[in-house]
Amino acid sequence: MAKPQEKVSFGERLKQIGQVFSFTAKQDKWFVPLVIGAVAIPIALTVVATLNWGLLWIPVGILVTLLAVLIVLNLRSNTAMMNVAEGQPGAAASLMENMRGDWRVRPAASSTTQFDMVHVVIGRPGVILLAEGNPQRVKALLGQEKKRLSKVIGNAPLYDYVIGTEEGQLPVRKLRTTMLKLPRNLTGKDVNALDKRLGALMARPQMPKGAIPKNMRPSKGAFRQQRPR
């Protein structure tokens, strides 16, 4: 059974917001000016409303100001995180794991020693392959993964994307909106059944394609010990 999520205290929540605020301010030069505007405009309107209609508008103005700041923080922090994630290995899988909804993510289901990888995602649209790395090498990985998955996915739709900024590739910043636009081809029951079949298929880990690093190679003595006498 999954462990229940631990409750976050109010102080810890404020600390997290402060960290996001600091991170966004460093990455986005427009963030601080937008926050100033989000504070100044509601305060100005609150002052006008208070002078004309009384003090009851002060709490309303405070709430509107906080809401405006949080909206700016949410929008600009997402943009800043997308900018940082661009080009980072495993960014697509990480974003999918944190997306709302029923997405079953298997990061680096297929990979090479050069950090090329294909992530397998199962959701209501069907099976989605997200490839990251060198465009030429990941095409070969995608072909191998499609052939392997074809044995168990049946009639479930299969989508594949190469993550990147070149023509014909899917930028990380557009990954979420692209996934949400896909049609809902499967029911929740179909997703569970498909997840079990793929889980059985992928239970045996695959060795990365390419040369094995020297520090991972078994010693010559290990082979001699395995020989029958």
90 residue type, one letter:
G
For the segment 165-203, what is each residue's pLDDT rounded down to a tens digit?
A: 888 899 888 888 999 999 999 999 999 999 998 888 877
The mean-pLDDT minimum among 4-13, 56-65, 76-85, 113-122 falls in: 4-13
Which tokens hold the place of 81?
């995180």
Residues 111-128 pLDDT 10s: 888 889 999 999 999 999
CA distances from 101 to 94, 132, 203 (A): 14, 23, 24
* Sign of the torsion formed by the C-alpha atoms of 186, 191, 195 and 196: negative
pLDDT at 7: 62
pTM: 0.63
Lowest mean pLDDT among 8-12, 64-68, 144-148: 8-12
